[in-house]
Structure 1
Amino acid sequence: MEKSRSSKWGKLGPTASQRGFALVDEAKEAPKEYLCPITLQLMKDPVLLVETGQVYDRESIEAWFKSGHNTDPSTGVKVRHQRLSTIYPLRSAIQQFAKQHNIELEPEESEEEDVKSGDSSTWDVPNPLECLVLQGVSVYDIKGLCKLMVSGDSAEALAAMQLLGDMARHGEKRQKRRITQHCSIDQLKKKLNDTDTRFQVQAARLLLYLPGEDMTMGQMLKLLKYANPQLTEDVLLLIWQHAYRHRSRMNEIAQAIHDLGTGEIITYMKTMADPTQNNDYADEVRAYAAFVLTCICYRPRSRSQIVSGNAVSLLVHYLATTTDVGFRLCLLKAVQYLCEDRAARELIQQNGAVRHFMNHLPPLNRQVLYTARVFNDWFAWVTVPETAVKALYHLSKNDRARYEMRTSGLVPALREMSRTSNIPEKAKSKYVGPLMARLTASQSCFVN
C-alpha cells in the first residue's frame, strides 16, 4: 500500500523522511488525521489548503505546488490560490502524541520567525499549547467551527475564527455560502467590541469577506486603527478593487477619509507606501497604500494635507516606477490636481515630475494611448495627453519647471500637438496655446 502511494505521488514519498517528517511505527497506530495524505507520515506542521478545505503537512503540499502542480492532491480540484493556514490545535495535538510515543519531530521555527518569513496565518493567534483540540470539531465542519467560534473558550474560539476568516477570503464560493449560512453576524459584530484586540481583528476579517455583508467605506477604513498587518492588507485590497476603475468611487473614498480624519490616515498610509521604510509589507500592499493617498487628492480640500504631510514625493515616485497602466493614470490625475497648488508645484518639480508628464505626450512618446476611453465612467473622453498638458500648464508657473520644459524640447512637441493631436479644441485653446506662449516668451528663461 505504501509503495503504491509513493509511486502515485512521484518523488514526494521517497524523500519525505529527508524533509523532517517522522515515520510512525505501525504498532503505535497514530490517528489518521495526524498523517499527511501525501506522505502517510506524521505531520509536523499541519495546514489547511483553504480553497479546498483539505489538510496536509506544509512542507509536502508546498513541494507539491513547487513541482508544477496546480491541483489539490487528494481531490484533483484545480487550485487558484495556494493559500495555507496553520492548524495550531492539530499541530499541538500531534506534538503531544509524538512526545508520548517518543517520536522525534524536527524542531519548529518560532512564531516570531514565522512572522518574519511572511506567514500571515501566524498573526494574532493564541499560543498553540493553549488549545490542544477544537472540542472534537473537524476543520472540515464549517457549521461546527461557527458554533465553536461563539461558544468555545477563548483560545479555541480564536483558532476557529482564524480558520473561518481564511476560508472566507480565499475559499470557494460554496465554502463562503456555508459560512454565511451558519455564522451569527450579530455575534461577530459584538466581537468587534471585544476587550481582546485579537477577537476584534478576526471578527473584522470575517465581516469583510462574508457574502452579503458588505461594509461601507467608512467602516472599512475604521479597521485600519487596529494596525494589524493582515487586516490592513485585506482592507486596502478591497479599497483598491472598489475604486480602481471609477473616479466617483475615488471621491467616495476621499470623503470617507475626510470624515474620519485625513491627517492621521495620510501619516499611516505614507509610512506603509514609503519603500525606504523597513517594514514587512509586500510591494503590492505598498501600492494599495499609495492608491489611498491618490484618492485623497480627488477632494480639493484635502490636497493641502497631502502637501503638508510630505506625501507628494511618494506619489511622484510611484508615477515614475509603477508598471500598472491603470494606477499610473490615477496618479497622473492626482498629481495634476496637486499642480494647481503653489506649494505643491515646487515639490512636484523638485521630484522630477515634469519629465514624467512630458513622457505622456504623443509627440514625445509614440506609444502613449490617448484616443480610447480607458476606464468605465472615469475621465469620460478626457485623454491622457490632456491630463499631462493641464499639469504642465500649472507647473509652468514655476521658474525652474519652465526652464526644464524649454530645454527638454517641449515647445516643438506642443506645436505638433496643436496641429495633429485629437485633444479637444477647447483644451488646445485653454492649455496648449497659453503654455506654448509662456515658454516662448523671453521672460520665461530661467536665470540662476
Structure 2
Amino acid sequence: MPDHRPVPPPGAVRRFFQRSSWPEARYVATVLRTETVGGGLLLLGAVIALVWANSPWAASYGALGRYVPWPGGAALHLDLSLGAWAADGLLAIFFFVVGLELKREFVVGDLRDPRRAVVPVVAALGGMVLPALVYVAVLAARGGAGYAGWAIPMATDIAFALAILALIGSHLPHGLRAFLLTLAVVDDLGAIGVIAVFYTDHLEPVPLLGALLAIALFGLLVQLRRPWWWLLIPLGVLGWVLMHASGIHATVAGVLLGFTVPVLTRPGEPRRMAEHLEHRWRPVSAGVAVPVFAFFAAGVTLRGTDLGALVREPVVLAIVAGLVVGKALGIFGSTYLLSRFTRAELDQGIRWPDLLGVALLGGIGFTVSLLIGELAFGTGTETGGLVKAAVLAGSLASALLASVVLTRRNVTYRRLHEAETRDEDADGVPDVYQRTEPEPRSPGRPE
C-alpha cells in the first residue's frame, strides 16, 4: 500500500504535529470515531450513576454494585461484586485493546519512528510525573493524609476527551488528534505499569507463573496464526483468572495478551491479526466495558454533603489540582521545552494555544483515575467517595477549560480540516497526502 507521506526537502525545518501517512491517518480516524461514540456512552453511564446515587433510590444503586453473583468462586478469589467485576473483568477488555494498540504503534505506527515518537512520549511522561508531584505537594501543604493516591491524576481518558471534542464541534487538525491519541495510549501503558508495581498488596508466585504460562500459550497460538477461538478465549480467561489470584491487578493480563498478538502479516495473509482483533474488540471495550465500569464507579452520593467542606478536603484539592494544573502544565511544558531544545517549530496552521487546549483535555482522567482511586483507598470507603467526587470535578473543570480554549480557534480548525479531507480527484485519498509541498524555512535561518 502506498505510504502517501509527504517527504520534506533536505534542510527543512523540523516540525511538531505534522500529518502522518495516509494509512496511519485513516487508522487514527477510524479509532477516533469508535472512541467518540464510546465517550458518549461513558458520559451517559456516569450521568445515570450520579442521578441514581443521589435519588431517593440511592440504596438500590449501592446494593447493585455490592451484589455478588457467584459467591462460590472464593477458591479462585472470584467471589466478586458486580462493581468489582466491572473494574477487574470488563476493564481487562479495555486494556487488551490498549495492548493491541501499543503493539501496533511500536511496530507500524508513529512510535516506530523515534523522531515522531519523542513528542507524544515526552509529553506523556511530563503529563504523568507533574500531576503526581502536584498531588503530593498539595497534600504536604495542606497537611492531609492520602499519599497512596499519588497516581490518581496521571491518566488521560481518551474516550471522554473525544466526547468533549464532539460536543464542542471542534475539528482539530489530524496532527493534534493523532498526538492526543498516542499520548493517551502511552499514558495507559504507564498507568498499567504503576498499577502492577505500586498497587499490588501481595504476590502469589504459583498463580502468577500459571498466568504467564497461559498467556505464553495464547501468544504461541496467535504467532502460529492458529485462530482457534475455542482455545484462545479460554486461555485468555485462564490467564486473567490466575493473574487475579496472584495478587496483581487482573487488567495487567489484558495488556500482556494484547502484546502477544502479531502486527505484521505473512505472505498470503489478507489482514493483520492485531488489526482484526482490534476491530472486533474495540466496540466491546468502548461501547460496553468502559461505560459499564463508569456506571458502577461514578456513583458518588452528595446528598446531605457540605460542599464547602468537601472542596476543602486535602485529597479533593490534590486530585483536582493534579488533573487541571499538573496535567496541563506537564503536557504543555514538556512539549514546549522539547521544541526549544530541538529548535523545532509547530506545523503550519497550529499554534501554541492549540496545544494548551489539547493539554487541558489530557486532564480528563476519568476511567483509569477512578480505577486507581479504588485500588488506593478501597471501594465504599469515605476517602473513596472523596476520590470519585474529585475525579469528576477535575475532569469536568479540565473539559470546560479545554472547550473555552479550543472553541476560540474552531474557524481555523474547520478550514484546516477541509484542506486535509479535500479529494478533488475522487480517488479515496485526500489530495494533501498526494503532493509534496516545500517546507518554508524559519525566519532568520540561513538558506
TM-score scaled by structure 2?
0.22
TM-score scaled by structure 1?
0.22
Which has the greater radius of gyration?
A: 1
Question: Which structure has greater helix proportion?
Answer: 2
